Structures are given as C-alpha cells and as structure tokens.
Amino acid sequence: AFFSVIGPEGAATILYRDADRAPELAESLRITASELLALGIIDGIIPEPADGAGEDVELAARSIEHAVAEQLEPLRKRRTSRLLKARRDRYRTIGTRHLSKRAPEPSDSGDAEDKITMSA
C-alpha cells in the first residue's frame, strides 16, 4: 500500500514540468484503473464515452447508473451483518493481495519515474 501526498498531475508538473505526462506517472505509481481492478481495490471500470464524459454527460450518467445498479443488485439479497463482515475483510486486505515483490521495471529514458518505487 502507499500514501500519496500529491496526485499524478501535480507530480508530473513537478518532475517533468508537464502535467500532460500525468498518465505516464500514474502508470509508474500503479494507480491506473486496470491496476486498481487487479489489486481488488475497485470492482469494475466504467468506460468513458468516446469524446469524454464532459462531451456526453447523459451517456456518462447512464453508464454510471447502470454500473452502480449492477453492483447493488446482488448486495440487496445479502444480510447486513454479512455485508459488514465482507466489507471489513475486504478493506483489511487492500494492499496485501496481488502485490508483486518485484521492483518496477526501469524505463529506457532514465527519467524520474525510475526513482519511484512501490512499497507493500
């Protein structure tokens, strides 16, 4: 697990003097949607409309509504005590499951991302 005092955009601005490199930094920090899904931190990834959520707010809202409804449906059938135990167990294991013991692979560029490591 890790604690970040700055988001990828701010870190990219400091390290690269270019906030547009935030996705690159997010990948190095392993905080992309696919990484969070693999780590069990999130339950799914809601696809964004092709032109971006800001360009098609209605479609984005429908996608979110559908994803939330899909996740809530099975939960409605479970007892509250079991839901609370499952939630507690899940949060207690975040950061301990699916962690790789290997260091991030160094990039070819030798940029600052080589200096970023993930600790368990």
Give the pLDDT confidence of 74-119 residue by residue, as tens digits. Answer: 999 999 999 999 999 988 887 775 555 555 555 544 444 444 444 4
**Residue 19 per-residue DSSP state:** G
| Dihedral class, residue 63 (left if φ above 0, else alpha if ψ from -120 to 50, else beta) | alpha
CA distances from 11 to 21, 52, 106, 114, 117 (A): 9, 23, 18, 14, 14
Q: Give yes or no for a contact between 102 and 30, defined as CB atoms under 8 angstroms apart.
A: no
d(CA 12, CA 61): 29
pLDDT at 104 (0 to 100): 52
Q: Give yes or no for a contact between 96 and 41, defined as CB atoms under 8 angstroms apart.
A: no
Confidence band (pLDDT; 50, 70, 90) for 2? low
pLDDT at 117 (0 to 100): 44
* Alpha helices (H) in 21-100, listed in sequence order: 22-29, 33-38, 57-76, 80-93
Give the pLDDT confidence of 25-67 residue by residue, as tens digits. Answer: 888 877 888 888 888 888 899 998 888 888 889 999 999 999 9
- Cα 59 to chain center, whole Å? 22
